Amino acid sequence: MTTETKQGGPRAATPCLAGLCAGLMRRDLAPGAPWLSTLPVLLGAVLALLLASGMALAVFYDPRAAQASLRFIALEVPAGWIMRGYHVTGAGLGFVLLYVHLFRMLLTRGYRGPAAAGWMLWVTLLAALLLAGWLGFALNGGLGGYWSLIDAISASLALSGPAGGVAMWFFGGAPGDGTLARLLVFHAVLGVAAAGLLWLACAATRQARPAPAGRMVAFWPVYAAQAFAALALLALVFALLMCFAPHWGQGAQSQLPASSLAVPAAVSYPWYLTPLAGLTALFPGAGGHALAVIAAAAALYALPWLDRSGGGAPGGLYRALTWLLGLDVLGLGLSAVCPLAAGLQILLFVWFFIHFLVLTPAVTAMEAA
Amino acid sequence: MVDHTADANSVPVGESRRGFLAILAMAGGAVGAATILWPVIDALNPDAGSEAAARPVVTVSDIPENTARQVMWGGLPILIRRLTDKQLADNETVSMDDLPDPASLESRVAPANRHFVVVVGLNTATPCALEGNTPSEPRGDFDGWLCACDGSQYDPLGRARRGPSRRNLPIPRFTFINEAQIQLG
Amino acid sequence: MMRHRFLAPLLAAGLLACGAARAENTLTPLHFQSDGWRGSIDKAAAQRGFAVYQSVCASCHGMSGLHYRDLEGIGLTPEQVAGIAASIKLADGSAATPDSLFKPPGAVNMGGAVPPDLGAIVAQRPGGTRYVYEFLTGFGPAPDGMTLLPGHFYNRAFPGGQVSMPNVLRDNAVTYADGTKASAAQEAADVAEFLTWSSDPDLAERHIIGLRTVIFFALLAMVALAAKRRIWREEG
């Protein structure tokens, strides 16, 4: 301690920088982390790109002429099509990273014990990004987004009591000229909030790390090299999607202009909203939709306490069931794209809750014994 | 860190190879980051419509002689006036001593076409509109412009001649892009 | 932009390939230069297509978002654009300028059907460019047993088989400035290429930038992977 303070000099002049360097060089990380552990870094990079391109888009976007102003951006703004590409592809790829990371946390039981706070922040991040994604879908001004928004507002107008009050506060009353302007602000605020949530979630996960034991490595250069290589691969995939499949996963109606006369038989959602759409499809009205979403979120939040295992590696049965849950979520998403038989739809919905509320406690308790 | 340096000293060849790879990767990463971020900066440049609006093209060939046309540009009224030969001759001989803000004829007319005068149409004493664009409007004693607010009078070249105004009408930036059109800005 | 420096030889090769495609007969078999992952706009075809749009389509169909100056994107010179704009009378009686938006059509009502805006029609229809061509060449006598609604015409490419729009393309409906023979099929193919450009003006640039960016990041990823492996072998 004393020697360090006496050395002082240039380091003392930039204590922040020195602290950061020391933090990056501190050998307190277990070696050999898998590639998938870089997902939070990649998600952070995608979020930063979304914020940057979102700022540039917001300069030219006109909520009163949503799709026309997006066409204006593509035609008249320098590099405007690149900004749209960043935002659209970034949203799609960001959700890939987020879903895979959450699935990996489930599979490795990364939500248990001291990591529970981190897990809950990740679930909150998912909720924030899904809401931001849905608002972006509406802001796009396509036929699907327009009708999804109109349906949501009309259903909320029918709600009474505090729930109706909250919905009216959010949407600002009946759909009108100002609706998209209001939702644009929420969309942007949620984007910034998501960046903060990601930082908090990573900080909480770091806090929950086991104490250093055995031979440890530092972030620099070991994990910096891994993160850098992962970022380069991400950029490669990003460029491929953005330049050669610009409408990837956006839903069939995203290009059609919003129209109050053309009512689609069913709204086609961007792929990342389809699991949510499948989850809510069984319950009519805003009340039912909200109930299904709240129940699903509650099951995810409660997961650290539903897991009855004391510790140790997850067993084979638990892993198999988690893979089954992944298929279940994929099936729910599929049900929003092409209608499934009613029985199958109910099974997919019920399985989601059985997995968390019945199977997880039972199997983890059994495997712990 | 100390351990790391010791390791490196024992394998100098590997260290230089690794250093080369790391430098190559970091340089490539810097280039990549710059290419990704440059379009974000570029997108905040003015859009094509604003660019066009900032440098409007005005057709002047159809302005009748002895008449001025007013166009709005950047929030300012711009007067484009076609002079008669008589007005040119009259104003060429004005003594500089008679002018509150001396300026030669050559410095007031368009270099490409002496028959055109382009000025900002706001009185320089009291900010107020000018009259005299058409021959039927009151033009004051110098056949130019007159400000009804404070009685300032300008000649056809936009030079202050009488009244409270002490400064000539400013000349905006413009160019003749061909015989018939000028571009402002 | 700074990326123009990368892989200039590759771009040059791409441009040579584009030049070769222009002389081909694109109708048999039907293909478009804008097709595929390296597609770009055939500017000569798009200019012919604009002539067709302007003299045939524009009376009923709008072209939202486009200014006349944007036509420089299909290779017209500023002087040509100024000439085109000057020949168009806007609703208020004045002549259009290069900075005017495309003149919207007058109110047209084909028995309740409103002609769709063509600005982004290729992005809005499944099949895109090819669909526009198939639709414009798909008119004909209705098959036996099919009863057409009043004011409707048979079209084999249109969903449902009948549409309120009549067959508008005929041989020599326009005279092409470049001497290409204006058969109805040629007009349909050209207007399809023009509408592909209007829907996606950045198609060619996107593909060129995409190819260069993908190659750059593929190389960078290889270097980064090699660096990572080496560092992990020594430190991990």
Per-residue pLDDT tens for A252-264? 788 888 887 788 8
CATH code for the domain in which residue C146 is found:
1.10.760.10
Torsion, Cα of B71, B73, B79, B82 (10° steps) = -70
Confidence at A191, pLDDT banded by 50, 70, 90: very high
Q: How many domains does chain C have?
A: 1
Tokens of C33: 């230069």
Q: How many CB pairs under 8 A join A and C?
A: 88
Q: Does A7 or A282 have the greater pLDDT score? A: A282
Residue at token pair 């330049």: A243
C46 falls within a domain: yes
pLDDT at A217: 87
Average pLDDT over residues A264-276: 90
Tell me whether residues A244 and C207 touch, CB distance under 8 A.
yes
C138 falls within a domain: yes
pLDDT at A88: 95
pLDDT digits (tens, 9 = 90+) for C147-199: 888 889 999 999 989 999 999 999 988 889 888 888 999 999 999 999 999 99
Q: In terms of DSSP H, where are the helices of A77-178? A: 80-107, 116-139, 143-157, 161-171
What percentage of residues in chain C have a pLDDT greater than 70?
A: 89
Tell me whether residues C206 and A246 touch, CB distance under 8 A.
yes
Query: Dmax over Cα atoms in chain B, in whole Å?
Result: 97
pLDDT at C19: 40
C71 falls within a domain: no
Tokens of A334: 């599929």
Which helix (H) or strand (E) segment is A217 a member of? Answer: strand A217-218
Give contacts of B22 with chain A, Cβ < 8 Å: 221, 225
CB atoms within 10 A of CB C1: 13
Q: Does A313 or B12 have the greater pLDDT score? A: A313
Question: Is A356 in contact with A299 (CB distance < 8 Å)?
Answer: yes
Site from A244, A247, A256, A259 to mutate, C interface, most C CB atoms within 10 angstroms:
A244
pLDDT at B1: 36
Of A75, A221, A244, the CB nearest to C65: A75
Tell me whether residues B25 and C216 touch, CB distance under 8 A.
no
Q: What is the rounded distance in angstroms from the CA atom of residue A233 to the CA atom of residue A246? A: 18
C78 falls within a domain: no
Tell me whether residues B57 and C219 touch, CB distance under 8 A.
no
Question: Is B182 in contact with B109 (CB distance < 8 Å)?
Answer: no
CB atoms within 10 A of CB A226: 25
Question: Is B42 in contact with B163 (CB distance < 8 Å)?
Answer: no
Q: Label residue C98 exposed, middle or buried (CB < 10 Å: 0-12, 13-18, 19+).
A: buried
Tell me whether residues B49 and C2 touch, CB distance under 8 A.
no
Give contacts of A76 with chain B, Cβ < 8 Å: 47-49
C76 falls within a domain: no
Q: In terms of DSSP H, where are the helices of chain B? A: 2-10, 12-43, 48-54, 85-92, 105-108
Q: What is the rounded distance in angstroms from the CA atom of residue C148 to the CA atom of residue C126? A: 24
C34 falls within a domain: no
Q: What is the three-class DSSP state of B172?
A: coil
Average pLDDT over residues C137-149: 90
Torsion, Cα of C62, C64, C70, C75 (10° steps) = -50
Sequence letter at residue B165: S
Q: What is the rounded distance in angstroms from the CA atom of residue A335 to the CA atom of residue B130? A: 71
C48 falls within a domain: yes
Q: What is the rounded distance in angstroms from the CA atom of residue A19 to the CA atom of residue C32? A: 59
List Cβ neighbours of C222 (8 Å cut-off, separation of 6 or more).
Answer: none
Reference C2, options B26, B27, A73, B31; nearest CA is B31
Ranges of residues in chain B with a pLDDT under 70 are 1-15
Handedness of CA C94, C95, C100, C102 (dihedral sign): positive
Quick one: angle between helices A224-244 and A80-107, nearest 10? 130
pLDDT at A10: 53
For the cut 90, the answer to whether the pLDDT of residue A177 exceeds it is: no
Average pLDDT over residues A47-60: 96
Torsion, Cα of A125, A131, A134, A135 (10° steps) = -120
Site from A24, A62, A71, A83 to mutate, C interface, most C CB atoms within 10 angstroms:
A71
pLDDT digits (tens, 9 = 90+) for C17-54: 344 334 457 887 888 998 888 899 999 999 999 999 99
pLDDT at C114: 85
pLDDT at B14: 58
Which helix (H) or strand (E) segment is B77 a member of? Answer: strand B76-82
Q: What is the rounded distance in angstroms from the CA atom of residue C118 to the CA atom of residue C49? A: 13
B 21-50 residues inside an 8 A Cβ radius of A: 22, 25, 28-29, 32, 36-37, 39-40, 42-45, 47-49
Confidence at C9, pLDDT banded by 50, 70, 90: very low
Neighbouring chains to B with at least 3 Cβ pairs closer than 8 Å: A, C
pLDDT at B15: 65
Minimal Cα–Cα distance from B79 to chain C, Å?
21
Confidence at C7, pLDDT banded by 50, 70, 90: very low
pTM of the model: 0.86
pLDDT at A229: 96
C114 falls within a domain: yes
Which helix (H) or strand (E) segment is A50 a member of? Answer: helix A39-60
What is the distance in angstroms between the CA of the first residue and the CA of the last residue of chain B? Answer: 61
Average pLDDT over residues A339-358: 92
pLDDT at C24: 58
pLDDT digits (tens, 9 = 90+) for B26-50: 999 999 999 999 999 999 999 888 8
For B130, what's the count of Cα atoms within 13 Å in the CB-facing half-sphere? 35
Minimal Cα–Cα distance from B67 to chain C, Å?
21
Site from B17, B23, B24 to mutate, C interface, most C CB atoms within 10 angstroms:
B24
Tell me whether residues C235 and B4 touch, CB distance under 8 A.
yes
Of A225, A240, A257, the CB nearest to C227: A225
Domain extent for C194: 39-66+102-205
